[in-house]
Amino acid sequence: MVPAEFFVHRHIYGKWACKCCQTLTQQPAEPQIIDKGLPAAGLLAHTLVARYVDHLPYYRQELINTRSGVHTPRSTLAAWAGAAAGALAPLYEAQRAFVRSARVLHADETPVRLLNPGAGKTARAYVWAYARGEHDDTAGVVYEFCRGRGSKYPADFLAEWRGTLTCDDYGGYNVVFQYEGRIEAGCLAHARRKFDELAKAKASAVGQLAIERIARLYRVEAQAKEMDAAQRLVHRQQHAAPLWDELHAWMRTERVRVADGSAIAAALDYSLRRWAALGRFLRDGAVSIDNNHLENLMRPWAMGRKAWLFAGSELAGQRAAMVMSLVQSARLHGHDPWVYLRDVLERLLAHPYRRIDELLPHRWTPAA
C-alpha cells in the first residue's frame, strides 16, 4: 500500500513578442475550476469525495493532508469544495431534468441541521430526494436541500411531471396528486414496519401473523426481480394478487376483533386506509412494492449528518445536494466517484453546454 501523495503540475505557456508591430502574443492557459488557484481537478475531486462519499469533515481532511506534508486549512478546503460544486450546477440541472423524465419516481425526505449563525445554534432543514423507478433501465437520483418540509417543495419539483410516484403517507405529497396524470403508489415496507414493532414488543400475535403474510408477497417479488415490466405484471397477477386479496380479507376480519385506539388497530387502519396505493404494484409492472430503493439512497445523508453534523449555510447545503446527486448516481452506474468527478471537472469548462448531458453519470465515458 502506498499512501496518497501530492504533486505539483507545472504549466509552461509560450509568449512571443514582435519587434516590428510591437505586439505581445501569449499561448492561452487551460481553463481551471478555480482560476489561478492551486487545486487541479484531481485534488478538487478528492476533497469532494472525502466529504460527500467518505463523510470526512474538513478538519479531518486537514489533518490527513498534513500527514502528507501539505497544509490545507479547513476554510480553504471548504472554499475549494464550494467552487467545485458551483461549477457542477449546470450538470446538476441536467440531472434534475433526467430524473423528472421518468414515468415512475420514488420520493422521500430526511432532516438535516442547518447552522443559524445569528442564533448561535442550528435549525432543522430537509433534504428531499427523488429517484427514477427501481425497475427503470437507467438509474438516477437527485437531492434538493430545502429549508422546510412543506408541500410546496415536491409540488415545485414535480410541477410539470406526470406519472406514478412511490412515497409514504406524509401529507406533504397530497398536493402532488391533486392534478390529473399523477398516481400514488404506497410503500408496503412502511405498513410492515408498524406490525414489526408490535411483533418485537410482543404486544399482539396479529403483528407476527401480518409479517408472515407480507413475507409471502416479498418472496413473489424476489422471483420477478430480473423480469421486464410486462413479465413482472403477469407474474404478480398470477402469484401475488391472490395473496394480496387474502391479506386484505384477513386484515378486515382482525380489525373487527380489536379495540379502537389500540396499537394493533392503528397498524391495521394504516394499511386498510392506504390499500389502493399499497396495491399499485399489482396494476403496473414498473412500480415497486415499496420505497426501499430510495430509502437506501438516503443513507449517505444519515451517515453524513453524523460525521459533519450540519450544513454551514443554505448555499452550502444546496451545493452538497448537487455533489451528492452526481456521485450517488455515478455509484448506481458502477463508476468510481473520484474518477468520474476528476474527469468531469477537467472537461466541464470547455464542454459545449448543448451537450452537457454527455457528462451525466448514465451517459459518461472517460475522456480518451
**Per-residue model confidence as pLDDT tens digits over 295-317:** 999 999 999 888 887 888 899 99
User: What's CA 132's distance to the chain center, in Å?
Assistant: 10
Asked whether residue 204 carries a pLDDT value surpassing 90, the answer given is: no
Give which of 329, 332, 331, 361 is closest to 344, Cα–Cα: 361
What pLDDT is recorded for position 259? 85
**Among 75-84, 264-273, 304-313, 335-344, which is the least confidently predicted range?**
304-313
What pLDDT is recorded for position 150? 92
Asked whether residue 203 carries a pLDDT value surpassing 80, the answer given is: no
What pLDDT is recorded for position 258? 86
pLDDT single digits (tens) 140-178: 999 999 999 999 999 999 999 999 999 999 999 999 999
What pLDDT is recorded for position 179? 87
Calpha distance 195→271 (Å, rounded) = 10
Asked whether residue 247 carries a pLDDT value surpassing 80, the answer given is: yes
SS3 185: strand
Asked whether residue 368 carries a pLDDT value surpassing 80, the answer given is: no
What pLDDT is recorded for position 37? 85
Q: What is the mean pLDDT of the chain?
A: 92
What pLDDT is recorded for position 138? 96
What pLDDT is recorded for position 367? 80
Main-chain dihedrals φ then ψ at residue 262, nearest 5 degrees: -80, 165
Average pLDDT over residues 24-50: 89
The three cell numbers locating residue 120: 448561535
The answer to whether 39 and 78 are in contact (CB under 8 A) is no
Average pLDDT over residues 130-148: 96
What pLDDT is recorded for position 1? 82
User: What's CA 267's distance to the chain center, in Å?
Assistant: 29
Asked whether residue 108 carries a pLDDT value surpassing 80, the answer given is: yes
Average pLDDT over residues 272-281: 95
| CA angle (300 as vertex; 128, 211 as ends), nearest 5 | 80
Beta strands in the chain (DSSP E): 15-18, 23-26, 104-116, 121-132, 141-146, 163-166, 182-185
